[in-house]
Amino acid sequence: MSDGHDHGDDDHGHEDGHHHDHGGHDHDDGHDHDAHSHDHDHDHHAHDVEQLGYAVVTVSSSRGHEDDAAGDAIESAVEGAGDEVVVREVIADDFDGVQGTVDRLVDRDDVDCVVTTGGTGVTPDDVTVEAVVPLFDKELPGFGELFRAMSREEIGTMVVGTRATAGVAGGVPVFCLPGSENAARLGSEEIIVEEAGHLAGLARRE
């Protein structure tokens, strides 16, 4: 698997990134909130989910639970933020398996956020993005853009091989990270745990 540095797909992040990026915050977040109050600090996070239940899915045909360093890094970030990993799975690089697993997890009442690690590179068996994106009701291209920008310091131009992506499926934020431990730690610690509560609150708002 190329997932160790399977950081890629600039197109996915940038093609319509600015469009959705502003749409996500301005439409879902700014207008409705501002109608209630002009106090942005309080209002902006009024619908945040305070304690999240995470599902962590490692996509790898070669790893098991005992040597899942990327999954461990994500779980550590989640728990460090005061949230909980309610389910953790290791599954093979299989399109139907990945899609079915994520689809099942977003339907669980105790899952507020899904994070996958692995299968986002460019080898033939890297199918996470292809399997998960069709489940999205809304894509969050800003996640991939930010992840690649932050990864550049570590891996340089190799970020062009990284297709990390995110979206909302069934009212649940889903983040797809590369399979390396460093990538999983960076994405979960620096981005996901910072924004997941806010995104989960907005995504489920009636």
Q: Tens digit of pLDDT for each residue in 98-115?
A: 999 999 999 999 999 999
Residue stretches of the chain with pLDDT short of 70 = 1-47, 206
Residue 170 near residue 106, CB atoms below 8 Å: yes
What is the model's pLDDT at position 124? 95
What is the model's pLDDT at position 157? 96
pLDDT, tens digit (0-9, with 9 covering 90-100), for 61-70: 888 888 999 9
Separation in Å, CA 141 to CA 1, 22, 24, 109, 151: 24, 10, 10, 26, 16
pLDDT, tens digit (0-9, with 9 covering 90-100), for 26-47: 444 444 444 433 344 445 566 6
What is the model's pLDDT at position 22? 37
